[in-house]
Amino acid sequence: IKIDNTAPGVKSIKALSAEGYYKAGASVLLMMEFTEDVTVSNAENLAVNFAHKNGSNTVKAASPNVTGSKYVLFTYEVKAGENAAVLTYNSISSTSVVVKDNAGNSLTSWSPVTAPSFAGIVVDTTTPAAPSFGSWTPDRVIFGEGTSFELSTTEKDIESQEYSLDNGQNWTPYTGKVT
C-alpha cells in the first residue's frame, strides 16, 4: 500500500523548440512539467503569460484535458508586432483549472519549482531597414571589371541580401560573403 499525501506541483516550464529567432507566423512549442502524473481538467483555461506580449499575453494549453501525464503542451504562435530580445516568462493563468494527482491530492501552488528561462528564444517580427551607404559622388566610383564589395550586418539569420545600383529600381541578389 502506498500512501500519497503530497500535493502535485509545477516542476518547470521550458521550450521544446530550438533556440533561435522566431518571426511572425512561427511557432514555439512549450512544455509544463508537473512533479508527478496528474489529471488536468479544463486545461484549455491554462495559460503561460509572457512579459513582452501586448493585450492578450497568454499562450493557452494545446489540449482541453490531460489524464495520467506529467506534461501539458503549449504552442506559442508568433504574431506581427510581437518582439522580445529574450522570451520572458511572467506568470501562469489557471482560471477554473483543476489539477489532481492519482491519489486525489490537489495542486496548491502554480509557482514552478525551477524558474522558467527561455534564454536563446528571440521573437523578432520587425522588418529590417534597408541599409544605407551614406553619400558618395558617382564620378569618384568606378565600376568595372574586377570591382568587388562585401556586405556586413548586425542582423542574425539573414535569408537573402540584394543590392541596387539604380536607386532601388532593380535589385540583384547578392551571393558574396556577408560579415
- 9-28 pLDDT, tens digit per residue, is 999 999 999 999 999 999 99
As a 3-state breakdown, the chain gives helix, strand, coil percent values, each rounded to 5, of: 5, 40, 60
- Separation of alpha carbons 56 and 82, rounded Å: 11
Judged by DSSP in three states, 29 sits in strand
Higher pLDDT, 147 or 175: 175
Q: How many CB atoms lie within 10 A of CB 140?
A: 6
- 76-130 pLDDT, tens digit per residue, is 999 888 888 888 888 898 999 999 999 999 999 999 999 898 999 999 988 877 6
Which amino acid is it at 138?
Answer: P
- 23-80 pLDDT, tens digit per residue, is 999 999 999 999 999 999 999 899 898 887 654 556 888 777 889 999 999 999 998 8
Judged by DSSP in three states, 71 sits in strand
Pairing of strands 89-94, 66-77: unpaired
Q: Is the pLDDT of residue 134 over 80?
A: no
- Separation of alpha carbons 89 and 73, rounded Å: 15
Task: Check residue 171 and give its pLDDT.
Answer: 77
Q: Is the pLDDT of residue 174 over 50?
A: yes
- Separation of alpha carbons 118 and 42, rounded Å: 26
